[in-house]
Structure 1
Amino acid sequence: MRLYRLVLGAAFALALPQADARPVEVPVVTVRPSTAVVPANMLRLSLEFATAPEGPVLPRVALSRADGSELREPFLAQELWSPDGRILTVLLHPGRVKSGLVAREALGPILVPGDDVVLTLDGRPLKRWHVGPTDLHGPVESAWHVSSVRPATRQPLVVRLDAPVDGRDTGYIAIADADDRPVDGHAELRDGESTWTFTPDAPWRAGRYRLMVRGTLEDPAGNRLNGHFETPLDTPDAPAMDAAVAFDINPIPAVLPSPRTSR
């Protein structure tokens, strides 16, 4: 009986999954910013996974120079996850992004114009960026271009932004009709987050519409629609102010029969 118990116990132990200190690999679907060039004062980036990964991810993420040397303490030690647990937003340490702060004076800026940096996960490269100049401007909705669409169709509306915005801010732009009712549909950010497209659930109707923009819409450097991340320390933050861009969908002109010529 004792031998039977020993054999049974050994078989049960073999059936248990073996402990593995390595995290289960989950493919990364998208890295944002998706552009090839990022500003020297980039504030945030995001990783979208195929499925929700298990355990902390930030310790596995690194930012390196092109020669492979890792940048020192580039991230804020905080993981910001989407509700479904698939998208991780990582903040570059704000104390080193904004000038005049103690961390920046002690450690220096994280990104330097002209450098090339590589984002890695578990030592494997995910995204390579060239570092461009500092961006101090932020989105300007009056400079956006709204495409024309035909009524009675579900033709996508295309909005060309003046510069890339945060890749997580797709829902910060919406459309309202002339009665201020929201227009239902599907929105996407494309072309390096510099183009916003919207496909309505129902065909467009002719009339006046408004592109509604939340004041908290930001670019990758943390500049808001009506405010800048890089402001003097003694200057209070300006309140976020929503904006609207009006556009019209014109009715299809009637096609009149051509007059008959008399003989």
Structure 2
Amino acid sequence: MIGIYNNRYQVVIRLYALYSLIFFIASLLIECHSAKEKEITIRWQNRRAIGISIPKGFIDTIDADSLEKQLSVRLTNQKTAIAGQYQLGDGTVIFEPLIPFTRGLRYVVWLNDKRLGEVSIPALDSNDRPALLGIYPSQDSLPENLLKIYLHFSRPMRERQSQKYVTLLKNNNDTLSGVFLDLQPELWNPDRTILTLWLDPGRIKRDLQPNKRLGAPLQTHNRYKLVVTASWPDEQGATLEKDVTKSFVAIQRDSLSPNPKKWTLLEPKSGSLQSLDVSFSESLDYSLLTETLSVIREDGANVPGRWQSGEEEKLIRFKPNNVWQSGRYKLRIESRLEDLAGNNVNRLFDRDITRKDQRATSESFTELLFKVR
């Protein structure tokens, strides 16, 4: 009997200890949750600090209509409020700045002249930096009437920064001003990883006043260096690891339109996943190359696949998703495809409208036939 009693007693003690532990953990979780409800917290999206949540208990005396008048978010030791929007959430007031908060900085929330609290945006790992994957055109001899330069980054960059972080040097000495158009908004792709820089068209076209007054942005036989400064931040505030440069020499103007009839097609074999290789007689526009070409079957259906430009943008490869079937195909080229000087398949960018040999045509596309055997 004594043994049975002792066993029951030990079971009761163990159950009591277990229940006590459960109660302790539950209390701790409730306490942590309650504490969190009393803190100003950061709202994250895709690793970006896009806003903060302010508990309503901090500001329960404020009407919703007067939030923006009485609340402000400022950088530590700064008096200027950060632009953004306030909105009521579930038990919180949410503030979203126009530009995501910067990593490594601290922000203070104010109610009129009362300091409500502070949040610190964690800094990124020092090795977690964006990279400039390429500057295009990639070749080192470019026509003096070059129209566009592309910067291809590894991840989304902060906008409205190109005038601050991109410089063009002439003969390694002279810093050139007014070379690029100051476009606002800038010309980014939807992912904000590719930026298009336009050299001033008004200075490229020879019959316009900017050209007559300032001359062309580039001049034949001169050497140039494009410098992208390392301090350019991405959308999270991380900067490039180092300055990136591209050196090139300006050669004579390009006054001829791309001519698909001079292109060479290397036909793939039937039943294979070989690429269709298309070689040009010149370098073509890096961005438009992958936008303006398509492969069409004999029945008119598009062949699904992926385009990849080759060395110096003088070659492009089409990799099909499925094996090639025997038959006739068309390579369709949209007429908006341009060379480096902005001359497209239909017309010259800088043309003399009085000359018959420079008049524009109106075809929307050109087609080249090829066979798969």
TM range (shorter): 0.7 to 0.9
Indicate the percent of aligned positions where both proteins have the same amino acid. Answer: 25
**RMSD of the alignment, in Å?**
2.3
Aligned to 2:195: 88
Query: Are the structure 2 counterparts of residues 185 and 216 from structure 1 closer, same or farther at C-alpha, using a change threshold of 3 Å?
Result: same
SS in structure 2 opposite 1:247? strand
Q: Which runs of 5+ in 1 are unaligned?
A: 1-8, 251-263
1:249 corresponds to 2:369 = no
Aligned to 2:150: 46
TM-superposed CA distance for 1:238, in Å, is 4.3
Q: Which runs of 5+ in 2 are unaligned?
A: 1-107, 109-114, 231-242
Q: Equivalents in 1 of 2:326, 2:319: separation in Å? A: 16
Aligned to 2:87: none
Aligned to 2:15: none
TM-superposed CA distance for 1:240, in Å, is 5.1
1:106 corresponds to 2:213 = yes
Q: Equivalents in 2 of 1:48, 1:76: separation in Å? A: 18
Higher Cα radius of gyration:
2
Count residues in correspondence.
236
Aligned to 1:64: 169
SS in structure 2 opposite 1:70? strand
1:155 to 274, 287, 292: 274
TM-superposed CA distance for 1:99, in Å, is 0.5
Aligned to 2:247: 128
TM-superposed CA distance for 1:26, in Å, is 3.2
TM-superposed CA distance for 1:163, in Å, is 1.1
TM-superposed CA distance for 1:249, in Å, is 1.1
Asked whether the equivalents of residues 227 and 240 of structure 1 are also in contact (C-alpha less than 8 Å), the reply is no
Q: Equivalents in 2 of 1:221, 1:211: separation in Å? A: 23
Provide the TM-score with structure 2 as the length reference: 0.60
Aligned to 2:341: 221
Query: Are the structure 2 counterparts of residues 162 and 239 from structure 1 closer, same or farther at C-alpha, using a change threshold of 3 Å?
Result: same
Aligned to 2:351: 231
Higher RCO, 1 vs 2 (CA within 8 Å, ≥6 residues apart): 1
Q: Equivalents in 2 of 1:239, 1:164: separation in Å? A: 23
TM-superposed CA distance for 1:90, in Å, is 0.7
Q: Equivalents in 1 of 2:348, 2:364: separation in Å? A: 13
Aligned to 1:73: 178
Q: Equivalents in 1 of 2:208, 2:311: separation in Å? A: 34
More helix by share: 2
1:190 corresponds to 2:310 = yes
